Amino acid sequence: EGACLPRTSFPHFEPGPGPLPLPEMADCSVRITGLGGTRDAHRKRKNLEDLASALGARVAQQSTRWSEITHLVCVMPELLDRRTFDAAGRKNVPVVTVQWLFDCFKIHARQSEAKYSVAANMLLSKIDPPGKGSDASLQSSRSFVADVLAGHDVLI
Protein backbone atom coordinates (compact mmCIF):
# COMPACT_ATOMS: atom_id res chain seq x y z
CA GLU A 1 0.00 0.00 0.00
CA GLY A 2 2.97 2.28 -0.47
CA ALA A 3 3.75 2.54 3.24
CA CYS A 4 7.28 2.14 4.53
CA LEU A 5 7.09 -0.20 7.49
CA PRO A 6 9.68 -0.36 10.28
CA ARG A 7 11.93 -3.43 10.42
CA THR A 8 10.21 -4.59 13.58
CA SER A 9 6.93 -5.06 11.68
CA PHE A 10 8.21 -8.32 10.19
CA PRO A 11 10.83 -9.66 12.60
CA HIS A 12 10.84 -13.15 11.06
CA PHE A 13 12.51 -12.11 7.83
CA GLU A 14 15.01 -9.52 6.72
CA PRO A 15 14.10 -6.29 4.95
CA GLY A 16 13.87 -6.68 1.19
CA PRO A 17 15.61 -4.77 -1.58
CA GLY A 18 12.62 -2.57 -2.38
CA PRO A 19 9.03 -1.61 -1.59
CA LEU A 20 6.37 -4.22 -1.02
CA PRO A 21 3.91 -5.51 -2.12
CA LEU A 22 5.09 -6.58 -5.57
CA PRO A 23 2.50 -5.63 -8.20
CA GLU A 24 3.04 -8.87 -10.14
CA MET A 25 2.07 -10.94 -7.07
CA ALA A 26 -1.38 -9.34 -6.81
CA ASP A 27 -2.99 -12.05 -8.94
CA CYS A 28 -1.51 -14.88 -6.84
CA SER A 29 -3.51 -16.83 -4.29
CA VAL A 30 -1.18 -19.21 -2.46
CA ARG A 31 -1.94 -22.13 -0.20
CA ILE A 32 0.86 -23.20 2.14
CA THR A 33 1.11 -26.96 2.57
CA GLY A 34 3.51 -29.76 3.50
CA LEU A 35 4.40 -28.55 6.98
CA GLY A 36 3.80 -31.68 9.03
CA GLY A 37 2.23 -32.00 12.43
CA THR A 38 4.92 -30.58 14.69
CA ARG A 39 4.30 -28.06 17.44
CA ASP A 40 6.29 -25.57 15.41
CA ALA A 41 4.21 -26.01 12.24
CA HIS A 42 1.66 -23.34 13.20
CA ARG A 43 4.37 -20.70 13.68
CA LYS A 44 6.08 -21.67 10.43
CA ARG A 45 2.78 -21.48 8.55
CA LYS A 46 2.03 -18.04 10.03
CA ASN A 47 5.49 -16.75 9.06
CA LEU A 48 5.12 -18.03 5.49
CA GLU A 49 1.61 -16.60 5.23
CA ASP A 50 2.98 -13.25 6.44
CA LEU A 51 5.69 -13.40 3.78
CA ALA A 52 3.19 -14.24 1.03
CA SER A 53 0.95 -11.38 2.16
CA ALA A 54 3.86 -8.95 2.33
CA LEU A 55 4.75 -9.92 -1.24
CA GLY A 56 1.21 -9.02 -2.29
CA ALA A 57 -0.30 -12.49 -2.70
CA ARG A 58 -3.55 -13.58 -1.13
CA VAL A 59 -3.30 -16.49 1.30
CA ALA A 60 -5.73 -19.35 0.66
CA GLN A 61 -6.88 -21.35 3.67
CA GLN A 62 -7.80 -25.05 3.82
CA SER A 63 -11.43 -24.22 3.06
CA THR A 64 -10.61 -22.20 -0.07
CA ARG A 65 -11.96 -23.68 -3.32
CA TRP A 66 -9.46 -24.91 -5.89
CA SER A 67 -10.83 -22.40 -8.40
CA GLU A 68 -9.52 -19.59 -6.15
CA ILE A 69 -6.00 -21.01 -5.68
CA THR A 70 -3.24 -20.11 -8.14
CA HIS A 71 -0.23 -21.68 -6.35
CA LEU A 72 0.37 -24.52 -3.92
CA VAL A 73 3.52 -23.72 -1.91
CA CYS A 74 4.99 -26.87 -0.43
CA VAL A 75 7.44 -26.60 2.48
CA MET A 76 8.45 -30.29 2.58
CA PRO A 77 7.48 -32.18 -0.59
CA GLU A 78 7.65 -35.56 1.16
CA LEU A 79 4.80 -34.42 3.43
CA LEU A 80 2.53 -33.32 0.59
CA ASP A 81 -0.52 -35.55 0.28
CA ARG A 82 -0.51 -37.31 -3.10
CA ARG A 83 -4.24 -36.59 -3.59
CA THR A 84 -3.60 -32.87 -3.09
CA PHE A 85 -0.70 -33.00 -5.57
CA ASP A 86 -2.85 -34.82 -8.14
CA ALA A 87 -5.78 -32.42 -7.63
CA ALA A 88 -3.47 -29.45 -8.20
CA GLY A 89 -2.25 -31.06 -11.42
CA ARG A 90 -5.82 -31.61 -12.66
CA LYS A 91 -6.64 -27.95 -11.90
CA ASN A 92 -3.39 -26.67 -13.50
CA VAL A 93 -2.30 -25.17 -10.19
CA PRO A 94 1.50 -25.11 -10.00
CA VAL A 95 2.98 -26.90 -6.98
CA VAL A 96 6.17 -25.09 -6.02
CA THR A 97 8.71 -25.35 -3.23
CA VAL A 98 8.82 -22.72 -0.51
CA GLN A 99 12.02 -21.46 -2.16
CA TRP A 100 9.77 -19.76 -4.73
CA LEU A 101 8.42 -17.40 -2.05
CA PHE A 102 11.89 -16.79 -0.61
CA ASP A 103 13.34 -15.95 -4.03
CA CYS A 104 10.42 -13.70 -5.00
CA PHE A 105 11.22 -11.74 -1.83
CA LYS A 106 15.02 -11.84 -2.19
CA ILE A 107 15.06 -10.94 -5.90
CA HIS A 108 12.13 -8.54 -5.48
CA ALA A 109 10.20 -9.92 -8.44
CA ARG A 110 7.83 -12.79 -9.13
CA GLN A 111 9.87 -15.77 -10.25
CA SER A 112 9.00 -18.37 -12.86
CA GLU A 113 7.24 -21.30 -11.22
CA ALA A 114 8.97 -23.84 -13.49
CA LYS A 115 12.29 -23.54 -11.66
CA TYR A 116 10.63 -24.36 -8.30
CA SER A 117 8.21 -27.07 -9.42
CA VAL A 118 7.60 -30.04 -7.14
CA ALA A 119 7.81 -33.23 -9.19
CA ALA A 120 5.90 -36.39 -8.41
CA ASN A 121 9.14 -38.23 -7.62
CA MET A 122 9.80 -35.81 -4.73
CA LEU A 123 6.72 -37.02 -2.88
CA LEU A 124 7.13 -39.76 -0.32
CA SER A 125 5.28 -42.74 -1.73
CA LYS A 126 2.68 -43.82 0.79
CA ILE A 127 2.12 -47.14 -0.98
CA ASP A 128 5.70 -48.46 -0.79
CA PRO A 129 5.94 -51.17 1.85
CA PRO A 130 8.71 -50.69 4.42
CA GLY A 131 12.07 -51.94 3.21
CA LYS A 132 11.10 -51.70 -0.47
CA GLY A 133 12.86 -48.44 -1.28
CA SER A 134 10.86 -46.18 1.00
CA ASP A 135 13.90 -45.51 3.22
CA ALA A 136 15.92 -44.37 0.20
CA SER A 137 13.00 -42.22 -0.94
CA LEU A 138 12.72 -40.65 2.50
CA GLN A 139 16.46 -39.98 2.64
CA SER A 140 16.39 -38.43 -0.84
CA SER A 141 13.44 -36.23 0.15
CA ARG A 142 15.15 -35.15 3.35
CA SER A 143 18.27 -34.23 1.35
CA PHE A 144 16.14 -32.13 -0.98
CA VAL A 145 14.46 -30.34 1.91
CA ALA A 146 17.78 -29.77 3.66
CA ASP A 147 19.20 -28.24 0.46
CA VAL A 148 16.17 -25.99 -0.04
CA LEU A 149 15.99 -24.80 3.56
CA ALA A 150 19.74 -24.64 4.31
CA GLY A 151 20.14 -20.92 3.73
CA HIS A 152 16.86 -19.86 5.29
CA ASP A 153 17.30 -20.11 9.02
CA VAL A 154 15.44 -16.84 9.53
CA LEU A 155 12.00 -18.35 8.84
CA ILE A 156 12.60 -21.87 10.03
pLDDT (tens digit per residue) in 123-143: 765 444 444 444 444 444 445
pTM: 0.71
Residue 8 pLDDT: 57
- Check if the beta carbon of residue 113 is closer than 8 Å to that of residue 94: yes
- Check if the beta carbon of residue 122 is closer than 8 Å to that of residue 145: no
